[in-house]
Amino acid sequence: MRRQFRSFLVITTEFIQQLLFCLPRYKLLNAIKSQWLKIMGAKIGKRVIFYPHVWIAPGRNLIIGNDVDCALGVLITTSGGVTIGDRTLIGYRTQILSRNHIIPPENQPIFGAGHRDNPINIGQDVWIGASCIILAGVSIGDGAVIAAGSVVTHDVPGNTVAGGVPAKIIRKR
Instruction: For residue range 14-52, list pLDDT tens digits in order.
Output: 999 999 999 999 999 999 999 999 999 999 999 999 999
Give, in order, the Cα–Cα distances in Å from 121 to each of 78, 82, 133, 140, 158: 11, 6, 14, 6, 12
Q: Is 18 exposed, middle or buried (0-12, 13-18, 19+ CB in 10 A)?
A: exposed
Query: For 150-173, what is each residue's pLDDT tens digit?
Result: 999 999 999 999 999 999 999 999
Q: How confident is the model at residue 127 (pLDDT cuts 50, 70, 90)?
A: very high
In the predicted model, what is the mean pLDDT of residues 66-71? 98
Give the percent of the chain with pLDDT over 70.
100
Residues near 82 by Cβ (< 8 Å), separated by ≥ 6?
61, 62, 63, 76, 96, 98, 119, 120, 122
CA angle 64, 11, 29 (to 5 degrees): 40
CA angle 49, 52, 53 (to 5 degrees): 120
CA distance 171 to 165: 16
Which of 53, 101, 115, 154 is labelled catalytic? 101
0.85 cut: is pTM over it? yes
pLDDT at 1 over 90: no
Query: What pLDDT shows up at residue 3?
Result: 85
101: annotated active-site residue: yes
